[in-house]
Amino acid sequence: MTLPSLNLLLQSILSGIFIGALYGLIGLGLGLAWGLLRQINLAHFGLLFLGAYLSYHMATVWGIDPLLTLLVIPPLFFVFGVVMQWLLARFEVSPFNSLLITFGIAVVMESAIQAVWTADFRRLESHYSQMRFTVGSLYVPVPELLTLVLSAGIAILIWAAMRYTDLGKAMRAMAEDAPIAAAFGINQKGLSLVLAGICAALAGVAGICLALTFTLTPSQIFAWVGVVFAAVMLGGLGSAIGPLVAGMIIGVSEAITMAVASPSWAPIVSFSLLILVLLFRPGKIRA
Amino acid sequence: MSPPPGRPKEGLASHPAMLPAALAIALLAALPWLGLPAFYESFLYLVCHWTILAVSWNILSGYSGYFSFGHGAFFGVGMYASAYLAANLGWPFLLTLAPAAALAALLGLALGAVVFRVKAVRGELFALLTLAVTFVVATVVLNTPIDGGPGVYLHSVAVPEIGPTPSSSLYLMALAGAVATLAIAWRIFVARLGIGLFAIHDDEDVAEVMGVPTYRYKLVAFGTSCALAGLAGGIHALFVTYVTVAETFNITVPLTVVLMSVLGGVRHWAGPAVGALAITSLHYFFTAGIDPLVGRAAVGAILVAVILFMPQGILGFLLKRRRPQARPAASTAAVPAAPTRRAAPSGRSAPLLQVRNLSKSFKGVRALDSVSLDVYPGEILGLLGPNGSGKSTFINVVSGHFPASGGDIQFEGRDLVGLPAHRIARSGIARTYQIPRPFAHMSVLQNVSLVAMFGGAALDQRRALEQAWQWLDFTGLRDKAGALPDELNLHQRKFLELARALAARPRLVLLDEVLSGLTPGEINDAIELIRRIRDRGATIVFVEHVMRAVVALADRVVVLNHGRLIAEGPCESVMKDSEVVRAYLGAPAHA
């Protein structure tokens, strides 16, 4: 174990914040569905990668600017989310079974992605990839910064929507007590469809960010599950800002662990945090 | 959901299925000498391998409902233990299997000892916690000399010469493991442990109050499950000959195991084995014949289809039609009397239950505030008070459902405060719930016999069933013995609560509003029934709002208000007490 230089440490913290923003963005849709719809949606990770590959395909094969895919992929995924929710509601799937079903869907999606794009590594090369600038002695890569801006912007937007719009208030009421909410005239079925659509669209946005910052391979789908779950549970189910904050805490602590110890120790941070939260603050997660 | 199928009688050797099972095992064990191609041996090895993993997973997760996603961790610990001992320390391979199982069990027991104490970590939180443990173990293994990064090779480890070829030896080891796992799973399924675990599955709090030692049972099931997973891992290390962290501790093992179990049926001991056979065959023949990608996709699609259309699994689906008929046992035998002799209600002998300064706070709300009272043997004590006065809390604390915040409870001279609820139940106290909480997946008969087994009566299974029939007669539920609680109406559910409490053969019965919601005719029946319970020698404390019943039954009443005891004595005089009148009706306007 060697102590890194201050500059390296600061650079690590910065990259931790960036990766944490991505954790938060992926966790946002997952946590909303978990907290408000009582679904543990592993298909979210399938959608994440599908979004990433679609963005990669549009950018490298069709030559579309990756940021323009933001206008195409999320609406498409919204429709997918609505259809899936309609099916889950139709069969009255319990929270635990939703985990199993969406795992099955994720496996099918993984196979489909591999069938189309093969198991080889794919990298979205665009004019953003190499863009970076320096602040003092720190490098700031533009794709990562874009992810951070999107992640924070969307989280704040959703937080405000949940708090101040009628739709958001209705959703919170529904999550609190669905039968009572229904008795006060809230259309539970319709709201669930909209919410599931939004969550799927968020997976699409996160996928685009993933494609901008990471090299893709289908087998990586489940590698993200653990750390994102940790961010969601630390941040609180159904919370808009929580996963982002928790994601950054995890990202920074991982980055510091990598710099101080070795990169292979990094996973222990998020999972130990998750275990501790589960054991000592389980009520916070249930809420 | 169907109830667990009929439990065979105990006694391994006399079981009718023993002979065919022994023949089948002998045939499977003889296969390597019949000259099968190695292809079949590795296929059969994988079937046995997944059978051990899935069936062992089910012992905790299927029976008790604690779905673990951490089976990969225990499997991996066993795998690395065997690999390390055999490859790095040069142990003979067979000797490494015991430490592999032991280490995995130790990890499981250590984890369970912490996790099972936290009440809120159930359901999906338990699943995630065990998943997280998998990755922590993986990181530790990867970064310590156990692995260190490059993985462990077992090429130089000699395969024990059990069969004619190395691949047949591996198959025979896995077969032995699978047979042992199935035998253990079956044994637990038919034993008290299994019955207790199924009760935990349905309602853990109630199971504890009915006398099931939930903490210990979960721990035993978890330890057994982990040991078997460790064994499977140990054997598998030699099968793959190259052990890496990435291949061992990934999400595939837990999810495949869950998939197999759910597909086969988690409410039956053999369900996961059916699932293991089905999925392994699918995998094997898809990867052999068609594109492996299509095979993976097919497995995913099958999982979705099974959950949607066959949620109780293949075996559960097949067994549904074979629901055990309610056996009308000869019921000439009289209902047994409670173990204590009948004492005169008025006799002021030593109190049966002595409560001193009992307090209970919920986050600052004092639900019970220094309550002191005595209950004498053979009496019926009515516990009265307005809503929210602490009556139900009193029952919850005395029965151990909630821990007391302060004070003393003595039952027959023994201190109850701090005892776990199942010990209180065993010492001779039984209770009913205001809103009936039967075990939803057990028949009416099983609900009652479970309490006869685990409560104060502590009978063996056969005697518990006989007694359960008699208590069903006593409460008039004989016709409903084979029904699930969902099929009962409120009146019958209330009487089921009573039958369950009585089956424990308690010396003290705590009845929490058994009459609420009943029609006047049903109330008359219930009053008659409660009298008969007392006539059999039990002492009764009952919470009730139906004053007609209180006047008819109670020898004495106590009145609670805002958690304090405000009056005590014979019914008529207490009802005239000015403080009691104020508690119910408010202060008179002209006062």
pTM of the model: 0.84
Give pLDDT tens digits for A157-204.
Answer: 999 998 898 888 888 888 878 788 888 888 888 888 999 999 999 999
Q: What is the pLDDT along chain B (591 residues), one digit of tens a residue?
A: 344 444 444 455 567 778 888 888 988 888 888 877 777 888 999 999 999 999 999 999 999 999 888 899 999 999 999 999 998 888 999 999 999 999 999 999 999 998 888 877 777 778 878 888 888 898 889 888 888 778 888 888 888 888 888 888 999 999 999 999 999 999 999 999 999 999 999 999 999 999 999 999 999 999 999 999 999 999 999 999 888 888 888 777 888 898 889 888 888 899 999 999 988 888 777 666 556 677 778 778 887 888 888 878 888 888 775 554 444 444 444 445 444 434 444 456 788 899 999 989 888 788 888 889 999 998 999 998 888 888 889 999 999 888 888 889 999 888 888 889 999 998 889 999 888 899 999 999 999 999 999 887 788 888 899 989 998 988 888 888 888 999 998 888 988 998 998 898 888 999 988 888 888 888 888 888 888 888 888 899 989 888 888 888 888 999 888 888 888 888 888 877 777 777 777 766 654
In chain B, % helix, strand, coil (3-state, to 5) comes to 55, 10, 30
pLDDT at position B528 is: 87
- Using one digit for the tens of pLDDT, what is the confidence trace for B124-155? 778 878 888 888 898 889 888 888 778 888 88
How much is the pLDDT for B4?
Answer: 46
Widest CA span of chain B, in angstroms?
A: 102
Q: Is the pLDDT of residue A132 over 60?
A: yes
Q: How far is the first Cα of chain B from the last one, in angstroms, to the nearest whole number?
A: 60
Could you tell me which residue, A246 or B577, shows the higher pLDDT?
A246
Give me the pLDDT at residue A178, please. 79
Set of chain A residues whose Cβ sits within 8 Å of the Cβ of B120: 282-283, 286
CB pairs < 8 Å spanning A and B: 113
Task: Give percent of chain A above pLDDT 70.
Answer: 97
At residue B2, the pLDDT reads: 41
Q: How confident is the model at residue A248 (pLDDT cuts 50, 70, 90)?
A: very high
Residue with tokens 């439990």: B7
- The closest alpha carbon to A39, from A86, A78, A75, belongs to A86
Give the pLDDT mean for A150-154: 93
Nearest to B118 among A93, A274, A279 (CB): A279
- The separation between CA B357 and the C-alpha centre of its own chain, rounded to angstroms, equals 34
List, by residue range, all CATH 3.40.50.300 domains of chain B: 353-585
CA distances from A34 to A29, A51, A88, A179, B258 (A): 9, 21, 14, 18, 20
Q: What is the spatial distance between Cα B499 and Cα B52, in angstroms, rounded to a whole number?
A: 40
| Cβ distance of A264 and B139 shorter than 8 Å | yes
The answer to whether residues B484 and B440 touch, using CB atoms and an 8 Å cutoff, is: yes
pLDDT at residue B339 in the model: 43
pLDDT at B332: 44
What counts of helices (H) and strands (E) characterise chain B? 23, 12
Closest Cβ opposite residue B139 in set A110, A268, A274: A268
ipTM of this complex: 0.78
Of B253, B122, B132, give the one whose Cα is nearest residue A226: B132
Residue A80: what pLDDT? 94
Residues of A with CB under 8 A from a CB of B: 40, 91, 93, 95-97, 99-101, 103-108, 110-112, 114-115, 222, 225-226, 229-230, 233, 262, 264-265, 267-268, 271-272, 274-275, 278-279, 282-283, 285-286
Confidence of residue A9 (pLDDT cuts 50, 70, 90): confident
Contacts of B250 in chain A (CB under 8 A): 222
Q: Which chain A residues touch B118 with a CB distance below 8 Å? A: 278-279, 282
- Distance, CA of A212 to CA of B41 (rounded, Å): 47
Is B296 part of the contact surface with chain A (CB cutoff 8 Å)?
A: yes
d(CA B361, CA B367): 6
What are the pLDDT digits (tens) for A76-112? 999 999 999 998 888 888 777 888 888 889 888 988 9
Residue B550 has a pLDDT of 86
Q: What is the mean pLDDT of chain A?
A: 86
Q: A111 and B294 in contact by Cβ < 8 A?
A: yes
CA distance B284 to chain A (A): 17
> Which token pair is B227?
């040991």
> Minimal Cα distance from A104: which residue of B?
B300
Coil vs helix vs strand at B142: helix
**Residue A228: its chain B contacts at CB < 8 A?**
none
Is some CB atom of chain A closer than 8 A to the CB atom of B127? yes
Of B128, B139, B307, the CB nearest to A265: B139
Name which CATH class applies to B353-585: alpha beta
Instruction: Give B 420-459 residues with CB within 8 A of chain A.
Output: none
- B543 exposed, middle or buried (CB, 10 Å; 0-12, 13-18, 19+)? buried
Partners of A265 on chain B (C-beta within 8 Å) are 139, 143
Q: Which residues contact B291 (CB under 8 A, 6 or more apart)?
A: none
pLDDT band at A243 (very low <50, low <70, confident <90, very high): very high
Quote the pLDDT of residue A220: 83
